[in-house]
Structure 1
Amino acid sequence: MKKIFSHKALQIILVPIFILVTTMSVLSQNGIPPKDIQPYFDQARKFRNQDKIDLALETLNTAATESEKNEDIKALIDSLHEFAVLYLKIDKEGDTEFYWDRASVLLKDIAYPYGDAMHKYIEAILLYRSKRNFQALFMLNEAKQLNNDRNFINNLLLTEAQVYINLEKYESATKNLNSLIVNTDIYEKEYLSTQAYLTLAELNLKTGDLTESAKNGENALALANNNGFLVDVKDANNLLTIVYEKLGQYQKSLTNNQNLAQIKDSIFNIEKNKIEAKTADKIKDDYKTELIARQDKKIEELTESQNRSELTAILTAAFLIIISLLAITLYRNNQIKLKTNDLLQTKNKELQISRDDAVQAMEAKTNFLSTVSHELRTPLYAVTGLTHLLLEEDPEEHQKEHLKALKFSGDYLLNFINDILHINKIDANKLEPLNMEFNLNKVINEVINSLSQSAKANNTKLTLDYDSEIPSHLLSDPLKLSQIFMNLIGNSIKFTKGGEVKVTAKLLNKVDDDVTIYFEVNDNGIGISKEKQKNIFEGFEQGSIQINREYGGTGLGLTIVKSLLGLFKSKIELESTLNEGSSFFFEIEMTSLDDKPEDFTFEVTPRDYDFKNLHLLIVEDNKINQVITKKMLSKKEMTSDIANNGYEAITLAQENVYDAILMDIHMPGISGEEATIEIRKFNQDTPIIALTAISLDDSLESFYAAGCNDVVTKPFKPEVFYQKIGENIFDKDIRNSLS
């Protein structure tokens, strides 16, 4: 026992105990304010981008030292993360993991969202480098939710683009890179643009677009030369050497190759690499040994005072006995822990494999449903469009009956596709709740009014019990609330004949501006059995096949409600008795805006427009859709030209004057978004209405950002189609004055 617990060993064991007792804050003693270390981070970032790795390391080491001196845990975490990123730059992933682990320990004991976001971002890069791309995307999304710092988001978008390229999602990668080319980052504007151009050039080379690759490569080279980004100068010259050789421009290829050789000889030499490696290893070793040095210093101080009191010696002996017993226990526990860790590592690997499989399966399911729902819209547009045209041509009575049945089937199929796409968007995290001002009473009444005819057809009474204490101005997402009420109330009406459906809204709690509201939709319809209640919120569940045949519907309404409430962090509850009725209820937290005055609203009623002699451009690659859209315009005495693709649309828009342009989004060649962007360069006034079958990856915001005035989804109702054309042509001045 004496050999195991020597005098030196005793000191090492006792040091942590005495450090906890004796450590005092320097700041509390002398009142010196902590030094701002942000300039060190800015300077280190600049050195890193210019590939002055040794200077960047020394600057970060100073930042870490100041952080510890000031006892600034958050700044120390930031320093460790910056070290981790810098070691990634020089491909020392082992050292990156060392600093990442040190930051992990500190993050356990502090609430620091930015630090957590940066931690996940670095983990995502390590996953990407180990070719675990789906896990990397998941981790990047986690990081994105924790912080919205512009520089952080820009670097995250760059990494995300690189992951997309690995997954061959070139369109998504291109969107990210194009946004970075025109970034407004206050720290790394030129560096991010250089990286975006260079990555885009590599993507172009991979997809065979050599001209664009050369163009983007030259842009990257110019920026890198102007800002001293030495590695990027080398990479750009290397890429351009390959691209120009493939293009047959051998002189340019030779020039870039000579530049590459000169750069390698003059800058990236062995001596420089030795200096950087030596600096990197020295700083890492210094950090590792710093704690030991501090402990040695404390040991010396404690040794000097050891002989001052017999009491200290007695206490030391007591500590020795206690710690000896603890050491034996800890040794045994450590052996158990090692075995447990081995088992946990094995299980963890199994879980990681299962998670990867689940992520890939979800991705495959999402892509499949998105593709199917999108592709079905094109033939469905032909069905509904031709049905409308035939009904307008005064058919025979027996034909009219068949056409109405066909129209009903088309509308049913469209609602079914919309439901699938909606659930798919929620599952794929494509939907997020908005935060806008609205009047809850008005939202619920609008839903009730829209369903009143359905209630009347079922001889069902529809009532609303609305608590007058609910604030008139609330902050939440009225659109998704409308969808929830539309599905719940519509569902109750469908299964209640000759009865009553009652909607309740009550204020449960109000603390300052935070309010909790209770909602309930109650009916005395057919009810739901206890057995079926377990699965009623799952997709395509309606109780039984007989109920489905008698009442119709897809069984997706309650699934949508459950998913939408999940976005509000709420849960749908159900109480039901077979043949007596059902009650669906839930609670939602919102923000009150009581201080705002009542606003005056007005509604624009649908107008009858005179479309005669209007001349429109139809941009559509599908021949059947061209015929249908052209005939629908002709019905209202409008003339039209047809562009088969985006290139033709740009040419016709330059050569002719149109009252409006109907723009399909998904076309071969260039998309409708790209065509709209080009048209807006020389024509800012002509209304452009996106006429498209929206898929999971489409974004309405991107349509408007490209320059579209409005969006009509295919297939559409004719009255909506004509109303949108009229609003955008005749009400354009009114709309502009209100915006």
Structure 2
Amino acid sequence: MALFSQEDSAPKINVETYLTDARVFRNHDKLDLALEALKKASDLAEKNEDAKTLIDCYNQFALLYLEMDKQDNTQFFWDRTNVLLKDVEYPYGTAVHKYIEALLLFRSGKNFQAIYMLNEAKQLNNDRNLLNLISLAEANIYLKIEKYDSAEKNFNSLVVNSDIYEKDYLTTKAYLGLANLAKKNDNLEEGIKNASEALKLATLNGFYKQVLEANEILSSDYEKMGLYDSSLVYNKRLLHLKDSIFTIEKLKVEGKTADNIQFNIMSDQLKKQDQKIDELNESANRSEITAILMSTFMMIISLLAISLYRNNQIKLKTNDLLLTKNNELQAARDAAVQAMETKITFLSTVSHELRTPLYAVTGLTHLLMEENPSENQKEHLKALKFSGDYLLNFINDILQINKIDANKLEPSNVEFNLKKVLMDVKDSMKQSIKSDNTKIVLDYDKEIPVHLLGDPLKLSQVFMNLVGNALKFTKQGEVTLIAKLKRLEDNDATIYCEVRDTGIGIPKDQHENVFDSFHQGSVQINREYGGTGLGLTIVKSLLALLGSEIHLESESGKGSSFFFEINLKSKDELLDDITFQITEQEHTLSGLHLLIVEDNRINQVITKKMLAKKEITSDIANNGTEAIEMTKKNKYDAILMDIHMPGISGEEATIEIRKFDKEIPIIALTAISMDDSLESFYAAGCNDVVTKPFKPEVFYQKIGENIFGPKVTGQAS
């Protein structure tokens, strides 16, 4: 398991290496090596007096002993962690501690208490690896208490997980969970399919325990189906595996290592206790001197008592006054929180509701522009399209600010290429550059590592807002996008980023206010250049999420410079052909037959006509129930699924369809709000998500990608 500290400090590089080794050894069932790696990590943490890393080590010991069914040992390390957490504020360590407690509760049959404890762990930290492991634990508990729909949803979400530490391990465990679930539902064919997937992954990665479990399931399922020859094949493999891998000698070595390590740690604890006893004995020799001094102090204290009494009377009156003020402040704070929640709910609802009619506006405009309008009509349609795009950008900006205010945004940590991000930003601004005869230049440092770990989506939003802002206020000038490597130490890269323009500049008296919401300097600037005044506010908030801060240098008439530094992890050991760089392909869509699931009549007409433009035929389901029945009776190349519908929602309909059709691509079309969870769409079984209103070229591209491949799940548009 990953489950190690997110804190970064120079002495912990080797500790993280040991913890990573322990995770790899554990997943490959080399438990003695995992224990030895953890012992080295804990020794180094002790030497560095690093309490947080020591907590991580003890948590890992507890999980490893639990894997070995040594519950007493697990309890010992859980107790040691509990003691350390009383003196250290460490949300991540506390979250893992509660996760372990939930596993112990589950093993003792206290299923609902375990679910409650897992929920507490989720509230403390948003580490993706920990959340995936919690999701796996929840799925196993749901399976135990026969909440099969919830278990299936969790297992399916882990099949397509993007965990950077244990992706294949979690996927393997998820397939095994689905295989066991299928057995509970007497769906042996589905169980064999999922167990085979698990066996393939486990064999490829050397997950020996999972190889064993997959063979057991396949042997049992084939036997129940009466396919005894197939059952015998897997049964023989099972016996061979048990003889060759799970030997008595291996168990002896693991047991001896486990006992030695716990004995050494307990011995260390006893030595520390002895030292404390010696210190206390030494202090006893000083007790006589202390008694003499105490009698002197008592005389002084007696003289001060009267003075203190008077002061206490004054303090009591002051405390009463402070209590009254505190109550008033608490009431004011509660009112402010309530107002903020009301504002967030209102803006979220309004943003979501506006997207549906806006889809009609942009969709009809696109269809009309492709029907050979006259020149006069073209001008009107272009104006309508501009107004629709402007309104959509405004809604998106409001929604983004709303998410930030509600703490709904979390930074991700995935592999990406910074140069590609900046090139994409530059390319997306081509239309603005042409209209104003403004050049955009990319000054990129070749020393920047090719592969980085961070949040490319939020960085892209930052650069899009900064470059868009620069282009808006620069006529017939130049906008320069700069990225320089400031320093590279081990795997930590600090990169300096800047967007510089030759535009109208910003007066010095406006520098402090320019990042405020809806601030645009003056009414005249707002009338001349337009915009929401939210772009720089979003930049400031997003960089704060990424641990950075935006700075400004500008002067009226001489242009502006917005710059910041960002700390990223370097991953240069990766191959160049990493998976996130996928080249878009043109797909021939003619002749496809799709199902449109949509309750809004206007949206039905627009979507159907947009498909007809590409010679795609389609049927329409007015709700989720119709969608399920039509999918059972007819053959479709893909389903376009609206999420928000009366009755059965799009998510629920997708879950039902996936029970009898695992392969058909399902693309969610939704006017998504800040309360919607993309992960829940994918967990339900959607292959992709497209938000309404959308660009037609994106719409067609997503259809082609998901029908013809490559299929890339987890990317909303």
Alignment partner of 2:509 out of 522, 531, 536: 531
Alpha carbons of 1:469 and 1:148: their partners in 2 closer, same or farther (altered >3 Å)? farther
Judging changes above 3 Å, is the alpha-carbon distance between structure 1 residues 358 and 150 closer, same or farther for their aligned structure 2 residues? Answer: farther
- Cα 1:593–1:335, aligned 2, differ >3 Å: closer, same or farther? farther
Which residue of structure 1 lines up, in the alignment, with residue 559 of structure 2? 581
Q: Residue 647 of structure 2 is aligned with which of 665, 669, 676? A: 669
Written as runs of structure 1 = structure 2, the 5 A alignment for 1:252-263 is none
In the alignment, what sits opposite 1:565?
A: 543
Structure 1: distance between partners of 2:456 and 2:326: 42
- TM-score under structure 1 normalisation? 0.60
How far off its partner does 1:427 sit?
1.2
- Compare CA radii of gyration and give the structure with the larger one: 1
The counterpart of 1:653, out of the listed 618, 621, 631, is: 631
Residues 637 and 517 from structure 1, CA distance in 2 versus in 1: closer, same or farther, beyond 3 angstroms? closer
Q: Who is 1:184 aligned against?
A: 140
CA positional deviation for 1:153: 8.8
Tell me the alpha carbon deviations over residues 665-720 of structure 1, each in whole angstroms, 9 at most, x when there is no partner: 00001110011001100111111111110011111111111111111111112222
Deviation at 1:347, TM superposition (A): 2.5
**Which runs of no fewer than 5 residues in structure 2 stay unpaired?**
1-57, 64-74, 103-112, 124-133, 152-279
Query: Offset of 1:471 from its aligned partner?
Result: 2.6
Distance 1:515 1:148, change over 3 A: farther
Map 1:221-620 onto structure 2 (within 5 A).
Answer: 314-325=292-303, 327-328=305-306, 330-599=308-577, 603-612=582-591, 614-620=592-598
State the shift of 1:505 in Å: 2.1
Q: Which amino acid aligns with 1:728?
A: N
Letter in 1 for 2:388: G
- What amino acid is the match of 1:604? T
- Go from structure 1 to structure 2 and tell me whether the alpha carbon gap of 1:659 and 1:516 turns closer, same or farther (over 3 Å shift): same
- Of 81, 88, 103 in structure 2, the residue corresponding to residue 111 of structure 1 is 88
Equivalent residues of 2:118, 2:138 under 8 A apart: no
The 8 Å contact of residues 382 and 625 in structure 1, kept in 2 or not, is answered as yes
Deviations 1:611-638 (A, max 9, x none): 22x2211111111111111222222222
| TM-score between both structures, scaled by the size of structure 2 | 0.61
The whole-number CA distance in structure 1 between the counterparts of 2:138 and 2:351 is 34
Structure 1 residue 181: Cα displacement: 11
Among candidates 717, 724, 732, match of residue 695 of structure 2: 717
Cα RMSD (Å) = 4.0
Give the distance between the partners of 1:75 and 1:726, measured in 2 at CA: 53
Match of 2:182 in 1: none
Cα–Cα, structure 1 residues 610 and 669, in superposed 2: closer, same or farther, change >3 Å? Answer: closer
Distance in 1 separating the partners of 2:146 and 2:312: 47
Q: One-letter code of the match for 1:113?
A: Y
> Counterparts of 2:612 and 2:453 in 1: how far apart (Å)?
45
Is the Cα–Cα contact under 8 Å of residues 436 and 475 in structure 2 kept in the other structure?
yes
| Contact 1:562-1:571 within 8 A present in 2 as well | yes
Cα displacement (A) at 1:112: 4.2
Cα pair distance change 1:616/1:473, threshold 3 Å = closer
From the superposition, tell whether residues 554 and 512 of structure 1 become closer, same or farther in structure 2 (CA, over 3 Å).
Answer: same
Deviations 1:581-637 (A, max 9, x none): 11111122222234445446764233041422x221111111111111122222222
Displacement of 1:564:
0.6
Q: 1:149 to 1:581 in 2, by over 3 A?
A: farther
Distance in 2 between residues matched to 1:115 and 1:503, nearest whole Å? 37
CA contact (8 A) 1:570 1:587 kept: yes
Describe the SS at the equivalent of 1:681. helix
Structure of greater relative contact order (alpha carbons < 8 Å, 6+ residues apart): 2
Within the candidate set 671, 682, 685, 2:660 is matched to: 682
Give SS of 2:689's match: strand
| Structure 1 residue identity aligned to 2:467 | I
> How far has the Cα of 1:516 moved from its partner?
2.4
What are the within-5 Å matches in structure 2 for residues 196-215 of structure 1?
A: none
Matched, 1:155 2:116: yes
Whole-Å separation in 1 of the counterparts to 2:343 and 2:633 = 45
Match of 2:610 in 1: 632
Deviation of residue 664 (structure 1)? 0.3
Cα distance, 1:417–1:314 mapped onto 2, change above 3 Å:
closer
CA contact (8 A) 1:505 1:519 kept: yes
Which ranges in structure 1 are unaligned for 5 or more consecutive residues? 1-36, 43-65, 79-106, 118-143, 163-177, 198-300
What is the CA distance between 1:147 and its match in structure 2? 7.2
Shift of 1:546: 2.2
The answer to whether the Cα contact below 8 Å between 2:351 and 2:399 also exists between their aligned partners in 1 is: yes
Q: How far 1:457 sits from its partner (Å)?
A: 3.0
Q: Report the secondary structure of 2:514's partner residue.
A: coil
Change (3 A) 1:350 1:544: same
Aligned counterparts, 1:117-156, within 5 A: 151=102, 154-155=115-116
Q: Which amino acid aligns with 1:624?
A: I
1:706 partner amino acid? A
Distance (whole Å) between structure 1 residues aligned to residue 119 and residue 290 of structure 2: 60
Q: Is contact 1:158–1:180 with CA below 8 Å preserved after alignment? A: no
Stretch moving more, 632-641 or 357-366: 632-641
Structure 1 residues 356 and 677: alpha-carbon distance in aligned structure 2, compared to 1, 3 A threshold = same
Cα distance in 1 between the residues matched to 2:506 and 2:99: 46
Return the offset for 1:328.
4.9
Change (3 A) 1:632 1:705: same
Aligned residue pairs, count: 492
Q: CA deviation at 1:381?
A: 0.9
